[in-house]
Chains A and B, each alone.
Chain A
Amino acid sequence: MDTRVAELEVSLSNGIAIRTTQLVKRYGEREVLHGLDLTVEAGEFIAVVGRSGCGKSTFLRLLAGLEKHSSGSISLDGYAAPGIHPDVRIMFQDSRLLPWRTVIQNVALGLPGDSRQVALAALCEVGLADRADEWPANLSGGQRQRVALARALVHQPRLLLLDEPLGALDALTRIEMQCLIERLWQQHNFTVLLVTHDVAEAVTLGDRVVLIEDGSITLDLDINLPRRRERGTAEFAALEGQVLHKVLGAQLCPN
């Protein structure tokens, strides 16, 4: 009976739980993160917002194991993070597809053996199976990001780190991509950390919106709106206003 409960819990949340304590990152003299404490439960969707240069991308790179933190600790599922973690995938603002590989070869990158079927399934999930054999150069920006998403999904990550992946897309494509990310997150139950400068996007997608200002967390807000959130509602606008007000602070209206 106990084992069945344990199994059920595993299948309910496939994600990685994150805990950072007093996380500090210095580049030479300059301290970028000053003691960041954040706890993320398995399967949670966290949206990290902040002005450019506040350290939010650095935070994500530390979680991805791309850079070493200067002091403090990061634990994934209770273990100290060992550099690049095989269950963690990161997506950047640029798709970083290899231009000399076809779409499907890009998705299959790093998979062992004959992985065409697996890669094709992942492309299906992002709705691009029919473009499998084209060069990335023939795709639009939004399609390239979807391929990058498929490439991350194919490894069945348990933690997906998104570093402003929609930042360079037009408004309509962004909304489509937000729906896609939300749907895939609900389907696969991984943990997501989305870094964005778009507060509306953060409120649309996040279980929690975390604000980083000048290297520290200054706001950690639960978003308890039911999902498929409508942007027009009063509650949505109130939450968005609350975060925006905090971000902009005293400079809200310079005039």
Chain B
Amino acid sequence: MKVKELIEKTGWKDEGTSSNLEGEVVGAYCGDLLSWVMGNGEQGQAWITVQGHINVVAVAKLREFSCIIIADNAPILDEFMNKAEEEDIVVLSSGLPVYETAKVLVELGV
């Protein structure tokens, strides 16, 4: 499933940091410890986290995640948004807890 289909099907908020919504979502990874995610995430996954700061963008870019999904209405810093825009990384906000966010992805067959 492409990122744009994910947005259409879930109604999750696209934070508008990237217009490239053609990336393929090939699974998901949940985690907030950056080294853990860096070491275990896979290319193309959607990364579900409650960390909304600048270093999350660097990890997402290096791991080549398809998008970052901020769960639980976690606070998102302006510098995070600016960095995501600069690096062309899609950021979505699910408004749901991490578990519920992951469940939606499972139900959609991600």
Partners in one complex: no
Interface residues, chain A, with chain B CB atoms under 8 Å away: none
Interface residues, chain B, with chain A CB atoms under 8 Å away: none
